C-alpha cells in the first residue's frame, strides 16, 4: 500500500514538472533585435555635426616667418630662371636737379619692360610731373636712392637715416613704397645695410654696369658690355635722369639682344622673390665706385659711418 502511494506521488510530480521542450526556449528570450539596437541609440548625426565646428580652412593661418634680409648688398641672385632685372637710377642732388630721359621711358613703355626705378627724393621734388607719370605705370616699381645722393659711408648715422626715411616719405606721397635701397655710388658697408634693413629694405646694387653715366661709353659698347656680362639673375644698372646721353640709343639693341639669348625681364622685387633665388653679395665698396671709364675705384678717407659703428 505504501509502495503504491509513493509510486502515485512520483508519477504526479513528473506530470506537473515542465518538460524540457516546454522550458523557455532560447527563441522565447528577448530577441537580440528586441534589445536596444545601435540604431535605437542617439544617432551620430543627432550629435552636433562636424560642419557646425569652424572648418580648418576658416581658421586663421599663422603668418609665415619673414625672411631675414641679407647682411650684405646684393649684386645679383642665383636662379635657374633666365631672367634679368633692368634698373634705372634717377639721381639728383641738392645743387643739381638733372633731368628726365623721355626717350628711354617711351622705349620701355612701348616694349612694356618691367623695370625698377631708383629716384632720389630730391629728383622727385624737382620732377613732380615725371615722378607721378612713373608712379602711374604698373610695370614700374620704385626703389630708394637717398634724398640728395649722399655718400652713405661718409655722413653721420643720424643724417644717413634721414636720407632714407625722408625719401621713403616722398615716395609714399606718390602712392608707392620702395622695394629696395640703393646707396649712391655703390658705397656700402654693414652699417649702411643695417640702416636700410631697419626700414625693411634690402640693399641692392648691380652686377652688370651699362656704363651710360656721363656718356663716356658709346651705345655700341654699352650693348656689347651688357650682352656679354648678363646672366640668369643679373641686375643691370642704367640711368634715366639725363646723365646717360647714349642710353636711348643702346636700349633697343640691349632688349633685342637679351631676348634673342632667351632672357626675360622682371622687376627687382620679382627677381628677389623667385622660389630658388639665392642673393649674391656685391663686392665690398666702403668708398664707392668711379664711373666705368676709370678702372680704379675711389679710395677717399671715410669720414662717416663705418662698420665699427654697428650697434651691439
- Asked if pLDDT for residue 298 goes beyond 90, the answer is no
**Cβ neighbours for 84, distance < 8 A, ≥ 6 positions apart:** 208, 230, 232, 233, 234, 235, 236, 258, 263, 264, 265, 266, 271
Q: 179 with 267: CB under 8 angstroms? A: yes
Q: 247 with 239: CB under 8 angstroms? A: yes
Q: What is the pTM of this model?
A: 0.74
For the segment 34-63, the average pLDDT, to the nearest whole number, is: 41
Q: Looking at the DSSP assignment, which residues form a beta bridge with residue 144?
A: 181
- Asked if pLDDT for residue 50 goes beyond 90, the answer is no
Q: How confident is the model at residue 176 (pLDDT cuts 50, 70, 90)?
A: very high
pLDDT of residue 230: 98
pLDDT of residue 67: 57
Q: pLDDT digits over 98-153, tens only?
A: 999 999 999 999 999 999 999 999 999 999 999 999 999 999 999 999 999 999 99
Q: How confident is the model at residue 267 (pLDDT cuts 50, 70, 90)?
A: very high
**Cβ neighbours for 45, distance < 8 A, ≥ 6 positions apart:** none
- Asked if pLDDT for residue 302 goes beyond 50, the answer is no
| Of 307 and 159, more confident | 159
| Of 165 and 41, more confident | 165
Residue ranges of domains in the chain, CATH in brackets: 74-284 (3.20.20.370)
Helices and strands, counts by H and E, the chain: 9, 8
CA pair distance 171, 133, nearest whole angstrom: 13
Q: How confident is the model at residue 311 (pLDDT cuts 50, 70, 90)?
A: very low
CA pair distance 121, 284, nearest whole angstrom: 25
Q: How confident is the model at residue 96 (pLDDT cuts 50, 70, 90)?
A: confident
Nearest to 201 by CA among 247, 143, 154: 143
pLDDT of residue 277: 97
- Asked if pLDDT for residue 209 goes beyond 50, the answer is yes
Amino acid at each position: 500500500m505504501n509502495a503504491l502511494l509513493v509510486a502515485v506521488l512520483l508519477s504526479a510530480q513528473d506530470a506537473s514538472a515542465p518538460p524540457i521542450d516546454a522550458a523557455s526556449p532560447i527563441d522565447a528570450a528577448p530577441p537580440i533585435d528586441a534589445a536596444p539596437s545601435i540604431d535605437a541609440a542617439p544617432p551620430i548625426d543627432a550629435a552636433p555635426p562636424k560642419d557646425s565646428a569652424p572648418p580648418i580652412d576658416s581658421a586663421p593661418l599663422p603668418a609665415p616667418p619673414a625672411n631675414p634680409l641679407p647682411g650684405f648688398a646684393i649684386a645679383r641672385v642665383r636662379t635657374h630662371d633666365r631672367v634679368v632685372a633692368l634698373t634705372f637710377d634717377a639721381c639728383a642732388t641738392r645743387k643739381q636737379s638733372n633731368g628726365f630721359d623721355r626717350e628711354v621711358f617711351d622705349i620701355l613703355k612701348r616694349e612694356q619692360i618691367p623695370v625698377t626705378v631708383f629716384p632720389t627724393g630730391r629728383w622727385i621734388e624737382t620732377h613732380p610731373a615725371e615722378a607721378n607719370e612713373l608712379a602711374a605705370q604698373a610695370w614700374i616699381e620704385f626703389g630708394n636712392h637717398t634724398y640728395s645722393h649722399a655718400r652713405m659711408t661718409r655722413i653721420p648715422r643720424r643724417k644717413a637715416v634721414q636720407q632714407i626715411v625722408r625719401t621713403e616719405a616722398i615716395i609714399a606721397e606718390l602712392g608707392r613704397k620702395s622695394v629696395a635701397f640703393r646707396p649712391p655710388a655703390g658705397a656700402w658697408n654693414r652699417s649702411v645695410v643695417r640702416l636700410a634693413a631697419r626700414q625693411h629694405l634690402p640693399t641692392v646694387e648691380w652686377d652688370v654696369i651699362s656704363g651710360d653715366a656721363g656718356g663716356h661709353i658709346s651705345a655700341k659698347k654699352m650693348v656689347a658690355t651688357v650682352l656679354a656680362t648678363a646672366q640668369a639673375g643679373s641686375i643691370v644698372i642704367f640711368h634715366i635722369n639725363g646723365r646717360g646721353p647714349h642710353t636711348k640709343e643702346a636700349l633697343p639693341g640691349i632688349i633685342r639682344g637679351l631676348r634673342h639669348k632667351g632672357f626675360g625681364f622682371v622687376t627687382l622685387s620679382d627677381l628677389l622673390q623667385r622660389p630658388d633665388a639665392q642673393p649674391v653679395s656685391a663686392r665690398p665698396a666702403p668708398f664707392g665706385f668711379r664711373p666705368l671709364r676709370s678702372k680704379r675705384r675711389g679710395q677717399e678717407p671715410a669720414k662717416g659711418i663705418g662698420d665699427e659703428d654697428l650697434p651691439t
